[in-house]
């Protein structure tokens, strides 16, 4: 069992506990943090039949009264209507300010449960129990919560850190391959950002075999970045490597291309562009693209530069005539570069042509 401390400011700091079997020890791990009382487990309809019973048993062994709410699995549930159902459920279950929530599931469950915890009775405690690779390596740590609005993804939410993250890599054994790939793309991203130790693991492509160590190193890196910049006004924006073009690919595909596959192509495109601009050395660029391929992830897209740039710039969260992109220099050294929006299309264009061998 390994612990990573996340600094979220004073009494809001929390630990991530990582280890096989910790799901069955949630009760004992959470009771010093939650105190006694009631726990509402929020999950989805895929995860509930797999892990809810084990979690409930562990919580009840520690003396908790447990209730649970499972909403239909998938991003289409990450909306105000499900949030409202969760809040009504918490009220009907008579959760008080001293009770708590446990989010059991992937990024969708984590994001919406964190939001519910942040606004129910003006904020009650919650813990994250991630069950997808993406949630382990990215969404469970950092305190960002959200739901989607009709105008776009993640447009309503809070920065509201959990009191604990309990990560049991054993949960990955039931994960379908295409969902594992989404997390693999974020793991390669973190490898490019953080450096050789993690990158040399992910470039082997054996994500499941090395899952525990990959998760530890990704969480270590994310914890460091969040401690530097909790509210994403500075270096935390590095975590968006590959995401400007990735979001554009997702949008243009009508979300038929998954986030991970879109981000993978986005990383490849921006890295090739950085190489052509003389910012990234060719050897590292080739290694990054090879790592994505080793994880069976795409490194190209059939969309063209003008439509990608237009889609990227249509993002509702962006404003003004400038945009910040993330360019790799070397593995372990990426930089935030502010460019004029009019330059984006040309940069994407450079990243679309394959590299000469």
Ligand X SMILES: NC(=O)c1ccc[n+]([C@@H]2O[C@H](COP(=O)([O-])OP(=O)(O)OC[C@H]3O[C@@H](n4cnc5c(N)ncnc54)[C@H](O)[C@@H]3O)[C@@H](O)[C@H]2O)c1
Per the annotation, the verdict on 247 as an active-site residue is yes
- Residue from 186, 161, 43 nearest 102 by CA: 43
Greatest distance between any 2 Cα atoms in the chain: 64
Closest CA to 174 of 132, 129, 218: 132
Report d(CA 281, CA 289) in Å as an integer: 13
Interface with ligand X, residue 158, by CB under 6 A: no
Pick the binder of ligand X from 55, 164, 179, 297 (CB under 6 A).
179
Instruction: Establish whether 259 is a catalytic residue.
Output: yes
5 carries an active-site annotation: no
CA separation (Å) from 354 to 252, 268, 304, 308? Answer: 21, 10, 14, 17
Q: Does 203 bind ligand X (CB under 6 A)?
A: no
Alpha-carbon distance of 158 to 80, in angstroms, equals 14
Helix (H, G, I), strand (E, B) or coil at 348: helix
Closest to ligand X by CB, 26 vs 273, is 26
Q: Is 205 in the site for ligand X (CB under 6 A)?
A: no
Window 40 to 69, contacts with ligand X (CB under 6 A): 44, 46-47, 50
Q: Which of 38, 125, 189, 243 is catalytic?
A: 243
Q: Is residue 324 part of the contact set for ligand X (CB under 6 A)?
A: no
End-to-end Cα distance, the chain: 44
Among positions 12, 31, 33, 75, the unique one binding ligand X when judged by CB under 6 A:
75
Please tell me whether residue 109 binds ligand X under the rule CB under 6 A: yes
Catalytic residue among 56, 78, 236, 272: 236
Using alpha carbons, list the distances in angstroms from residue 59 to 40, 54, 65, 163: 10, 9, 8, 16
Pick the closer one to ligand X by CB: 72 or 354. 72
Q: Is 329 a catalytic residue?
A: no
**CA–CA dist 175, 299 (Å, integer):** 23
Residue from 153, 240, 250, 272 carrying the catalytic annotation: 240
Q: Exactly one of 38, 125, 144, 272 is catalytic; which is it? A: 144
Distance, in Å, from the CA atom of 230 to the CA atom of 9, rounded to the nearest integer, reads 9
Q: How many CB atoms lie within 10 A of CB 208?
A: 14
Q: Is 240 a catalytic residue?
A: yes
Q: Quote the CA–CA distance of 99 and 340 in Å, as a whole number.
A: 49
We find the least distance from the C-beta atom of residue 237 to ligand X, in angstroms, to be 12
Tell the smallest beta-carbon distance from residue 177 to ligand X (Å): 11
Whether 222 is a known active-site residue: answer: yes
Q: Which stretch binds ligand X (CB under 6 A): 11-19, 62-70, 171-179, 324-332?
A: 171-179
Residue 230 found at the interface with ligand X (CB under 6 A): no
Single residue of 78, 236, 243, 272 touching ligand X by CB under 6 A: 78
Question: Applying CB under 6 A, what is the total number of residues that bind ligand X?
Answer: 29
Report how far residue 135's alpha carbon sits from residue 128's, in angstroms, rounded to the nearest whole number.
9
- Give the DSSP letter string of 32-59: HHH-SSEEEEEEETTTIIIIIHHHHHHH
Annotation says 186 is catalytic: yes
Judged by CB under 6 A, does residue 111 bind ligand X?
yes
Q: Do 240 and 277 meet the contact criterion of CB atoms below 8 Å apart?
A: no
Judged by CB, which is closer to ligand X: 47, or 331? 47
Check if 302 is active-site.
Answer: no
Determine the Cα–Cα distance for residues 151 and 316; give it in Å rounded to an integer.
8
Figure out which of the listed residues 17, 58, 128, 132 binds ligand X, where binding follows CB under 6 A: 132
Residues that bind ligand X (CB under 6 A): 44, 46-47, 50, 73-75, 78, 105-109, 111, 131-132, 134-135, 138-139, 142, 144, 153-154, 171, 174-175, 179, 182
Task: Indicate which residues carry an active-site annotation.
Answer: 122, 144, 186, 222, 232, 236, 240, 243, 247, 259
């Amino acid at each position: 069992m390994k612990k990573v401390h996340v600094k979220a400011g004073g009494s809001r700091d929390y630990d991530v506990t990582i280890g096989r079997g910790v799901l069955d020890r949630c009760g004992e791990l959470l009771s010093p943090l939650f105190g006694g009382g009631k726990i509402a487990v929020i999950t989805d309809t895929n995860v509930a039949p797999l892990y809810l019973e084990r979690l409930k048993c562990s919580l009840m062994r520690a003396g908790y009264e447990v209730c649970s709410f499972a909403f239909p699995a998938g991003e289409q549930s990450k909306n105000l209507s499900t949030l409202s159902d969760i809040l009504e459920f918490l009220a009907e279950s008579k959760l008080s300010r001293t009770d708590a929530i446990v989010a059991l599931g992937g990024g969708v469950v984590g994001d919406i449960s964190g939001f519910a915890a942040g606004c129910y009775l003006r904020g009650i405690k919650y813990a994250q129990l991630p069950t997808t690779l993406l949630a382990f390596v990215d969404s469970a740590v950092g305190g960002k919560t959200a739901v989607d609005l009709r105008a776009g993804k993640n447009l309503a939410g809070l920065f509201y850190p959990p009191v604990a993250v309990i990560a049991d890599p054993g949960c990955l054994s039931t994960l379908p391959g295409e969902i594992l790939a989404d997390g693999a793309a974020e793991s390669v991203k973190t490898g490019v950002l953080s450096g050789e130790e993690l990158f040399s693991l992910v470039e082997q492509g054996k994500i499941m075999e090395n899952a525990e160590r990959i998760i530890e190193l990704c969480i270590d890196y994310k914890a460091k970045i969040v401690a530097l910049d909790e509210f994403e006004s500075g270096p935390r924006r590095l975590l968006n490597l590959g995401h400007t073009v990735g979001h554009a690919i997702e949008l243009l595909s009508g979300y038929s291309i998954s986030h991970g596959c879109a981000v993978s192509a986005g990383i490849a495109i921006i890295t090739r562009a950085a190489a052509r601009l003389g910012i990234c050395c060719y050897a590292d660029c080739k290694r990054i693209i090879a790592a994505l391929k080793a994880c069976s992830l795409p490194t190209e897209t059939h969309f063209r530069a003008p439509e990608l740039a237009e889609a990227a710039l249509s993002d509702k969260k962006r404003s003004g005539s400038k945009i910040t992109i993330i360019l790799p220099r070397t593995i372990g050294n990426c930089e935030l570069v502010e460019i004029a929006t009019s330059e984006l299309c040309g940069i994407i264009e450079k990243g679309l042509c394959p590299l000469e061998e």
